[in-house]
Chains A and B, each alone.
Chain A
């Protein structure tokens, strides 16, 4: 042994250590890869040795190589070896390597479980620490499940060094194993008040991170955090807490009101920019949630904006950037306060730093109004010209379009101006956003009917200059606008001044260099233009001219027929045949225009982007069902469909004989229309009811305001938006004058004695500017019975969703972290098929675990179904929903109670003649008056041996708004209400919600009980403020809480063998009752006992059943229930005679009702 060691040490002297490796790599700059592969070979040799020091050295080198980008996953096993070294030096290296290169896909990771557990419980805090640090990097769901309990124990370690690490790592554990959250949460909460500031801050960190994702579950912690916030001086902690409040306030506006003051104080006093910034952000969040404009809030907004202005004006680019960022948040709700700083924002547009300019652009978006849009866009356009990088220029372009098109073009008063801006933007070369401009052109032309004439004229000019647009490089994105131009000119050809000219422009040979999809649109729209020209010529009785056009088409179309693009080719050859046919008809002097234009009759309406998705699936249609059975995988059948496909294709080719007859086409079109009219799922072109300008008359009747333009509408060459700016200004001026005149007249007409309030002091507000054209923005169409849902954007794969867990509900006994136990420690004698909560079965093998998971799933599903089938007596939706939510959250023993099948599972097969069980609810009436109805239920939990939770459902029965609800209870010696720390015995406990009219919600209160052997009654009062239109009144409702002995029982399943042992032990006292006159079936009777008295059936034989339950203080209660002809007798055995007596009395009362 000694010799081996010596040998190892000698070997080591010749090994490279890390420093040598690094030096070597630096010295081999030319052939680095070769040198490293040589080193890796050496490392492989070193790893084969037994000496752990050599191995550790090798692993250390590997970690360095991993950083350089070399794959070291092959050494995963060696890393584990080094991790399990007993010496801290090596262990440290092992864990470091593991944390750098292990991930969820690393298969050997499951081998580490025991090693990590060992290190976690090591007497050396540094061993534990290093294990925790490593684990935080590579924790997997399996590791999290297996180690959760160990880490939870470490949260109460004596050394704060370990405690804080354990607390922090719990967050990672929760993410990987959400089931651990509820069992671990109470302890985590305790850590908020840990004496060590580091641990405390760690706990704040974790809870804040959790709460940020699912704030509603953490509302009850708000008072605690509020206290922390006002007492803590640690900025790191403060920032976290303030961030947390930012997440909570949207859910609880009252909290926001309370926060404003301390936050503004902090804003005033702190010198730390990070804290200031966080405060401002949270104040903004608060103000957003308190949308109601309270007077003092404008002061806070002003304060925020002021502080942000200081940030923006700072020379530090970082502060400038953040200031702008926060400003944009205020902008969303309080645009007015931000708009005052327009100068600053515009100034930032000239900043050297691109990120800052981009932020300023974001702000501009919200600053535009009808009044300043033109001016701002003008400024942006000048930036576009100056911009050096294409990315920034493209960003500017998208922003211009965003700004103009926002909210359905609400700020645009003159669409001529907008179209000319768009046309001006086409001068941009090399932009990626040609399609954006094109989309805008199309959108405006389609939806703003009044502008079509102008748009068409501009577009035809654009087509005329297509060579300019398309000339530059092939990858030029701007040619996309030609797509829009061609389509607009074709579709609205009736507005064209000189269609012939446009037609010729579209048939130029140069066009064939355009991308295929644009050519295809060209071909299609050439026909539309052609149809329009034919119509024109025939009406003017110029048959020769008409034939000339046809001739032109016949000459030029072949260039498209030769296109390599299939779409272009297909359309072109089809069109060519059509035109040739027309030519024949024209030669015979047959008028054709009518029929050709019929091809394009009817109007195209815009359809909302989500319309297709929103069409409701008709009843009886299962979209997932196979229409045809899927083909089997066998090879022999594989050939057949192929052959069929081939044949079919041939047939298609034959069919496609392109002698297209326009009459035939028209007929088909008619038929299609007919079919569409009868088809309920076709989106018809009837105007949608949600029209924006509903009060306006139909488009046809809109008197298009004549604009006396000094420039002809058809602008030769480049249109310049500036001229429209001037025009627009003049127009507005005229409008204003006119308005003033009208006003004067009106006022003169009105009572003359009235003092003039508005005077001549006229400031032009947004509303005063009337749009130049009567704009009819056609809203997009939606299917008539579209489903109104906004759930389109929810991501079902959000990892934080799993952590959306109710934490206020007391822990059920089944919710424990899995504890690894020794193989032999437990032999599960009881039959597996009995439905036992998860923890009862001990985890042994992975396979079993999986099985159990499935079981759990099944159980959950079952629970949900039950909930649906058996609505509780309270039909209030909210309550039900809550219940459902709960059942989704966790398996809960209660779930098994309400249903007959769950509780009496073993009997189910035998019992056939079941009469349905009436719906049951464990909630009973507490008190009721005109305002509110209270029902309650008491639940014990095995985890906290002398606590019960009272769930009170408060239902607002009035038309008033109920708030400031507070529950006060007169404690007895035996039973006490658990109040928040610091409050006295006489204080009430606030109910954590408010109740709008007709709404109900559930609040939970925890009581501690000393003795549970007799029933208890507590008097209490609910006080609240009822607020309605007339004012608010202070109201009270007295009640009496009845703690029956039953409420101290917790449903606990028991195996028959354990049950028998319990009865044999002989230290149980006995008692019995008998009730006569019972008509209910035995099955239902048992279900009722299970449900109302928290028992579970152990065994049932005919009309005899044994049942079991357990009290929160651990008393066993065993029952033998026997049903006679018309009577039921219950024999009970319990470890406490007094308890048994009370329980049987209560049971007698229940049975008497049956």
Chain B
């Protein structure tokens, strides 16, 4: 997979993950182009389109479009499955996810994606394992945060 984009029906980018090294300008250009193309498609159309020498696989969930760019030989259906998996993961983590969850906790959305995919390849196919890893990492974060807040309190009082 070359990159993954999440954007809203209004064309606002909500998440982007690039597995190829490109300059900012190039990224912006590609994003704009793809967002426009996909938004112009009618709802009953199939989820694949050929774009430059890549294939774009996208799917709409509520108000969000999830879109992946894959290479020519890759399997479109499994890419759809990847998108679906990711949505399920977000759903499990946030508890019936909505666009606002992703906007306000965008870093979490990235962390989940990073546990699921690495370098554009599926890293962990078990949803349970991904969530476990995220939960433990979050726990680590909270542990790290708690002593500091205690210190703060001491400092403040």
Interface residues of A (CB under 8 A from B): 2, 5-6, 9-10, 18-19, 22, 53, 60, 63-64, 67-69, 71, 73, 87-89, 92-93, 96, 99-101, 103-105, 124, 126, 129-130, 132-133, 136-138, 140, 161, 164-165, 168-169, 171-172, 198, 201-202, 205-206, 209, 212, 234, 236, 239, 243, 273-274, 277-278, 317-318, 320-322, 352-356
B123 touches A198 (CB 8 A): yes
Residues A22 and B119 in contact in the complex (CB < 8 Å), given A6-B155, A137-B18, A277-B77 = no
Residues in B neighbouring A243, C-beta threshold 8 A: 73, 75
Given A169-B118, A236-B122, 18 extra CB contacts under 8 A = A6-B156, A9-B155, A19-B104, A60-B107, A71-B24, A92-B141, A136-B119, A168-B121, A171-B119, A172-B119, A198-B124, A198-B126, A239-B75, A277-B75, A353-B45, A353-B46, A354-B45, A356-B46
Residues in B neighbouring A168, C-beta threshold 8 A: 118-119, 121, 123
Which A-chain residue is minimally distant from B145 (CB atoms)?
A89
Residues in A neighbouring B126, C-beta threshold 8 A: 198
Residues in A neighbouring B133, C-beta threshold 8 A: 129, 161
Nearest CB on A from B138, distance (A): 10
B45 touches A355 (CB 8 A): yes
A92 touches B46 (CB 8 A): no
Residues in A neighbouring B28, C-beta threshold 8 A: 69
- The one of B23, B78, B107, B144 that contacts A87, using a Cβ cutoff of 8 Å: B144
Majority SS at the chain A contact face = helix
Residues A105 and B121 in contact in the complex (CB < 8 Å), given A2-B155, A161-B133, A198-B126 = no
A18 touches B104 (CB 8 A): yes
Residues in A neighbouring B144, C-beta threshold 8 A: 87-89
Nearest CB on B from A16, distance (A): 13
Task: Tell me if B21 counts as interface (CB < 8 A to partner A).
Answer: yes
Q: Which 6 A-B pairs have the closest CB atoms?
A: A274-B77, A6-B155, A317-B46, A136-B119, A321-B46, A89-B141
Residues in B neighbouring A92, C-beta threshold 8 A: 107, 111, 137, 141
A67 touches B136 (CB 8 A): no
Which B-chain residue is minimally distant from A133 (CB atoms)?
B114
Residues A318 and B15 in contact in the complex (CB < 8 Å), given A88-B141, A236-B122 = no
* Residue from A68, A165, A212, A320 with most neighbouring chain B CB atoms (10 Å): A165
Task: Tell me if B94 counts as interface (CB < 8 A to partner A).
Answer: no
Task: Tell me if B125 counts as interface (CB < 8 A to partner A).
Answer: yes
Residues A104 and B137 in contact in the complex (CB < 8 Å), given A164-B123, A198-B129 = no
List B1-48 residues whose CB lies under 8 Å from chain A: 13-19, 21-24, 28, 42, 44-48
Task: Tell me if B62 counts as interface (CB < 8 A to partner A).
Answer: no
Nearest CB on A from B125, distance (A): 5
Residues A22 and B77 in contact in the complex (CB < 8 Å), given A6-B155, A168-B119, A318-B47 = no
Nearest CB on A from B101, distance (A): 11
List B110-157 residues whose CB lies under 8 Å from chain A: 110-111, 114, 118-119, 121-126, 129, 133, 136-137, 140-141, 144-145, 148, 151-152, 155-156
Residues A67 and B16 in contact in the complex (CB < 8 Å), given A22-B103, A88-B144 = yes
A318 touches B24 (CB 8 A): no
Can you name 21 A-B pairs with beta carbons within 8 Å?
A6-B156, A9-B152, A22-B103, A67-B13, A67-B16, A68-B13, A88-B140, A92-B107, A100-B110, A126-B137, A130-B137, A136-B19, A171-B119, A172-B119, A274-B77, A321-B46, A322-B48, A352-B44, A353-B45, A353-B46, A355-B46
- In the complex, A96→B16 CA distance in Å? 12
B106 touches A67 (CB 8 A): yes
B48 touches A318 (CB 8 A): yes
* Residue from A67, A93, A198, A201 with most neighbouring chain B CB atoms (10 Å): A67
- In the complex, A18→B106 CA distance in Å? 9
Residues A103 and B23 in contact in the complex (CB < 8 Å), given A92-B137, A273-B77, A354-B45 = yes
B107 touches A171 (CB 8 A): no
* Residue from B42, B47, B78, B81 with most neighbouring chain A CB atoms (10 Å): B78
Residues in B neighbouring A105, C-beta threshold 8 A: 23
A124 touches B140 (CB 8 A): yes
- In the complex, A971→B16 CA distance in Å? 58
- The one of A53, A67, A355 that contacts B49, using a Cβ cutoff of 8 Å: A355
Residues in A neighbouring B15, C-beta threshold 8 A: 67
Residues A126 and B107 in contact in the complex (CB < 8 Å), given A5-B151, A205-B121, A212-B73 = no
Task: Tell me if B64 counts as interface (CB < 8 A to partner A).
Answer: no
- In the complex, A237→B15 CA distance in Å? 27
Which B-chain residue is minimally distant from A166 (CB atoms)?
B118
A239 touches B119 (CB 8 A): no
Residues in B neighbouring A322, C-beta threshold 8 A: 48, 76-77
Residues A73 and B21 in contact in the complex (CB < 8 Å), given A236-B125, A321-B46 = no
Task: Tell me if B54 counts as interface (CB < 8 A to partner A).
Answer: no
Residues in A neighbouring B87, C-beta threshold 8 A: none
- In the complex, A352→B103 CA distance in Å? 35
B121 touches A96 (CB 8 A): no
- The one of A100, A206, A234, A321 that contacts B121, using a Cβ cutoff of 8 Å: A206
- In the complex, A352→B45 CA distance in Å? 8
- The one of A64, A171, A234 that contacts B125, using a Cβ cutoff of 8 Å: A234
B104 touches A22 (CB 8 A): yes
Which A-chain residue is minimally distant from B81 (CB atoms)?
A274
Residues in B neighbouring A96, C-beta threshold 8 A: 107, 110-111, 114
C-beta contact mask, B74-115 vs A, less than 8 Å → 1, else 0? 011110110000000000000000000001101100110010
Residues in A neighbouring B24, C-beta threshold 8 A: 71, 73, 101, 103
Residues in B neighbouring A236, C-beta threshold 8 A: 78, 122, 125
Nearest CB on B from A102, distance (A): 9
A165 touches B118 (CB 8 A): yes
Residues in B neighbouring A354, C-beta threshold 8 A: 45
Nearest CB on B from A210, distance (A): 12
Residues in A neighbouring B16, C-beta threshold 8 A: 67, 100
Residues in B neighbouring A124, C-beta threshold 8 A: 140
Residues in A neighbouring B19, C-beta threshold 8 A: 136-137
Which B-chain residue is minimally distant from A68 (CB atoms)?
B13
- In the complex, A372→B70 CA distance in Å? 37
- In the complex, A202→B151 CA distance in Å? 43
- In the complex, A320→B76 CA distance in Å? 12
B80 touches A318 (CB 8 A): yes
Residues in A neighbouring B21, C-beta threshold 8 A: 103-104, 138, 140
Which B-chain residue is minimally distant from A198 (CB atoms)?
B124
Which A-chain residue is minimally distant from B149 (CB atoms)?
A9
Residues in A neighbouring B46, C-beta threshold 8 A: 317-318, 320-321, 353, 355-356
Residues in A neighbouring B17, C-beta threshold 8 A: 137
Nearest CB on A from B18, distance (A): 7
Residues in B neighbouring A133, C-beta threshold 8 A: 114, 118
Residues in B neighbouring A68, C-beta threshold 8 A: 13
Residues A64 and B119 in contact in the complex (CB < 8 Å), given A103-B22, A277-B77, A321-B48 = no
- In the complex, A133→B28 CA distance in Å? 23
B48 touches A355 (CB 8 A): yes
B45 touches A171 (CB 8 A): no
Residues in A neighbouring B152, C-beta threshold 8 A: 6, 9
Which B-chain residue is minimally distant from A358 (CB atoms)?
B50
Residues in B neighbouring A73, C-beta threshold 8 A: 24
Nearest CB on B from A1079, distance (A): 62
B106 touches A165 (CB 8 A): no
Residues A202 and B44 in contact in the complex (CB < 8 Å), given A5-B155, A89-B144, A243-B75 = no
Residues in A neighbouring B104, C-beta threshold 8 A: 18-19, 22
Which B-chain residue is minimally distant from A97 (CB atoms)?
B107
Nearest CB on B from A109, distance (A): 11
Residues in A neighbouring B156, C-beta threshold 8 A: 6, 9-10
Nearest CB on A from B89, distance (A): 15
- In the complex, A88→B111 CA distance in Å? 13
Nearest CB on B from A385, distance (A): 22
Which B-chain residue is minimally distant from A356 (CB atoms)?
B46
Residues in A neighbouring B119, C-beta threshold 8 A: 136-137, 168-169, 171-172
- In the complex, A92→B114 CA distance in Å? 11
Nearest CB on A from B155, distance (A): 4
